[in-house]
Amino acid sequence: MDDTAVVSLEPGYGRELRLLGHFHLAGTQKSALGSAGQRLVALLAIHEGVMVRWQVAQLLYPDGDEVHAAANLRAALWRLQRCRPDVLIASATEIRLMIGLEVDYWTAMRTARALLGGSGACDTEKIALAMSANLRDDLLPGWPESWLVSERESFHQLRLHALEVLCAKLTSCGWYGAAVDSGLAAVRGDPLRESARCALIDAYLAEGNSREALRQFEVFRTLLQAELGLQPSGTLQRKVAGVIDLRSSKLN
């Protein structure tokens, strides 16, 4: 490996790479990178910043032979390094992102795993980190690349689990507004996901907002019946049973 592979980015210049929600490399217009440059940077970031060169060519250019794929990769590298020589380093055998690049996808992955691996305690520091990370957006939504499909689905499931845990932790801390916000983000990610709806309803019930808890239950029940012909689980129905009974007694 070249010694240059450990060169760091210059302080304060274009250190952020966004892959969640949309692609954005700070300090650079998308048009300057081109489609090939964006795909190359994203592919490296998804694979933890380093890949062997032949594999990059194979994944980015699957329709051509090895010779054409290698030539296309050289062209993409030339354009990218001319535009942003501080973003990656390429040797004869591998390509890697420069040390010091801050990737929102990496931060979100670390945060989500920390949340899922932690205890149920109200850890304010961990919660603050989780709230600052982007757990609301999927990985490059709309990109059709086949190499992205499984990574995007894996991250989608991970972030929804993390949002549910975050909602529960915030509820246990008594931070109901933030808990509801996290619960709503989980529900938006998958409206038919009962565990997300349960976390949100728990947050509403904990803050004493039984009306909104019941509304969420009714919305979910209607949607589940219309889309899948199913009813909410007994667990979820029991969560709101007391609210329904209380409402009925008041009407009578």
Residue 210's nearest CA partner among 182, 170, 173, 244 is: 244
φ, ψ at 68 (rounded to 5°): -70, -35
pLDDT the model gives residue 252: 42
For 88, the enclosing helix (H) or strand (E) is strand 88-90
| The pLDDT value given to residue 29 | 84
Residues of the chain with CATH 1.10.10: 3-100
Residue 87 phi/psi, 5-degree rounding, is -95, -40
Q: What is the pLDDT of residue 4?
A: 33
Where, residue-wise, is CATH 1.25.40.10 in the chain?
A: 103-251
Strand partners, 139: 20
Task: Quote the strand ranges of 54-101, DSSP E.
Answer: 88-90, 94-97
Of 1.25.40.10, 3.40.50.2300, 2.40.10.480, 1.10.260.40, the CATH number of 103-251 is 1.25.40.10
The residue among 221, 222, 162 whose CA lies nearest residue 196 is: 162
Count of positions (residues) in the chain: 252
Q: Please give the model's pTM, rounded to 2 decimal places.
A: 0.87
Domain 3-100 has CATH 1.10.1060: no
| pLDDT profile of the chain (252 residues), mean per 10 | 35 76 91 92 97 97 92 95 92 95 95 84 77 92 96 97 94 94 97 97 96 96 97 93 62 40
